[in-house]
Chains A and B, each alone.
Chain A
Amino acid sequence: GAVVSQHPSRVICKSGTSVKIECRSLDFQATTMFWYRQFPKQSLMLMATSNEGSKATYEQGVEKDKFLINHASLTLSTLTVTSAHPEDSSFYICSARVTRGITYEQYFGPGTRLTVT
């Protein structure tokens, strides 16, 4: 149980185009999902927290107009990188939160490798 999928796993796009990445919780409902970015040989940096039915909360320094997040249902959150540039090339990982009593667990997707040429 608690499987998170991402699609696509790998995408190459031209500079100036937009790319959408999907994150799905396959066997549970997630009111909260997180989007992370990971640069080569570096840790995960939280970009934003996505709440179902409301606007995402972005971390400091993350451009909300560039990284559009939509959490339209309890099992799907999408990250759209608008007008992508080579510096947006990175590994993007989503995570879904499941409440368990007084605490919660986070389950991670397999990641999406974005390359902007």
Chain B
Amino acid sequence: AQSVAQPEDQVNVAEGNPLTVKCTYSVSGNPYLFWYVQYPNRGLQFLLKYITGDNLVKGSYGFEAEFNKSQTSFHLKKPSALVSDSALYFCAVRNTGTASKLTFGTGTRLQVTL
């Protein structure tokens, strides 16, 4: 069975500082990894994904994530946080099978303050 762990319920960071939201995964075979963001009472918006290739993936709104196979991690990062980045962030994984389904982590709330 595949699973995703987001160990932090909430991450607090001051605007302008770098942010990291952690994610580790477990999946059989090669993983496809995703980050989504959710604003209050809204659906999920795609941020970025890792399929293959370069371990550092760049996505929307200045976010990036680094795939680390040995640590089975896919942490989300941004060099300089904005107050508008405050939202709920979900990491998700599936394997490369065509019938594979996404499994989501429990989410991490990012709070960026002035």
Binding site for B on A (CB under 8 A): 4, 6, 34, 41-44, 46, 49, 91, 93, 95, 102-111, 113
Chain B: number of interface residues, binned into ranges: 10 to 19
Contact A110 B42 (CB under 8 A): yes
B interface, by DSSP: helix, strand, loop or mixed?
Answer: loop
B43 partner, pick from A41, A43, A93, A104, beta carbons under 8 A: A93
Shortest CB-to-CB span from B32 to chain A, Å, is 7
Binding site for A on B (CB under 8 A): 32, 36, 41-46, 51, 90, 96, 98, 101-102, 104-107
Contacts A103-B51, A103-B96, A104-B98; A43 near B42 (Cβ below 8 A): no
B107 partner, pick from A4, A43, A95, A108, beta carbons under 8 A: A43
Chain B residues near A4: list those with CB within 8 A.
Answer: 43
Contact A44 B104 (CB under 8 A): yes
A46 partner, pick from B41, B90, B101, beta carbons under 8 A: B101
Contact B90 A44 (CB under 8 A): yes
Contact B101 A108 (CB under 8 A): no
A-B contacts besides A43-B106, A44-B90, A103-B96, 19 pairs, CB < 8 Å: A4-B43, A6-B43, A34-B101, A42-B106, A43-B90, A43-B107, A46-B101, A46-B102, A49-B101, A95-B44, A103-B32, A106-B102, A108-B36, A108-B43, A108-B44, A109-B43, A110-B43, A111-B41, A111-B43
